[in-house]
Amino acid sequence: MRRDFIADISHELRTPLGVLNGELEAVEDGVRPLDAATVGSLHAEVHTLNKLVSDLYDLSLSDAGALTYRKADVDVAELLQATADRLRDRFASRGLALSATLPRKAAMVFGDERRLQQLIDNLCENSLRYTDAGGRLEIVLQADASRVTLAFSDTAPGVPDDALPRLFERFFRVDPSRNRAHGGAGLGLAICRNIAIAHDGTLSVAPSPLGGLRLVLTLPLAS
């Protein structure tokens, strides 16, 4: 497992580094002009590298129980509403709809607002990357006497049943070429599960009734 993990990390780092090296050599040789398009392409690869390194760092800290959490009472309904409002235009630019069904009253949990925001962003990003154009993501938040449940359900494509239990594994991909083309390194859901566990919660996955993937996050209500 350690060998596979190192091999996967090396592969993920090699891809954007290879693109950067190739484009810089093309600029040096005069094959490609150093214009705004070139700078934009180089910046995109640097962003990919930065995201991968940041995810690896977060994952290593959370695995070691060293990821810092500053917990206080957080209204998850308010957090989710703000996230949906912020991401709706990004979803629309990909031909996707985003809806959030929230309770009328606050849904308070005891947690780290920044880490919970990271978790929700990652779950939304997962749908944004892999849902086919013309589809949608529906988020439903419900609260009962003891817990808050957030269900993220998107439309096609779905995930084969035998692959569902592996979605939280580091670097696992249902379709490696498709995930790499969409910029995913396969670390986001592993980080999400670690954050959920650190909040005494759970994160599970199942087929979505809409035809795609359904991710369900549960968190205990603040006492």
Cα distances from 59 to residues 53, 142, 186, 204, in angstroms, run 10, 28, 11, 18
What is the reported pLDDT for 1?
Answer: 65
CATH architecture of 2-63: Orthogonal Bundle (1.10)
For the stretch 107-130, pLDDT in tens is: 999 999 999 999 999 999 999 999
- The larger pLDDT score, comparing residue 58 to residue 152, is at 152
For the stretch 44-56, pLDDT in tens is: 889 888 888 888 8
Query: How many CB atoms are located within 10 Å of the residue 192 CB?
Result: 22
pLDDT at 178 over 50: no
| CATH code for the part of the protein at 72-220 | 3.30.565.10
**In terms of C-beta density within 10 A (0-12 exposed, 13-18 middle, 19 or more buried), how is residue 118 classed?**
middle
What is the reported pLDDT for 171?
Answer: 78
pTM attached to this predicted model: 0.80
Residue ranges per structural domain of the chain = 2-63, 72-220
Name the one residue in this structure whose structure tokens are 């977060």: 58
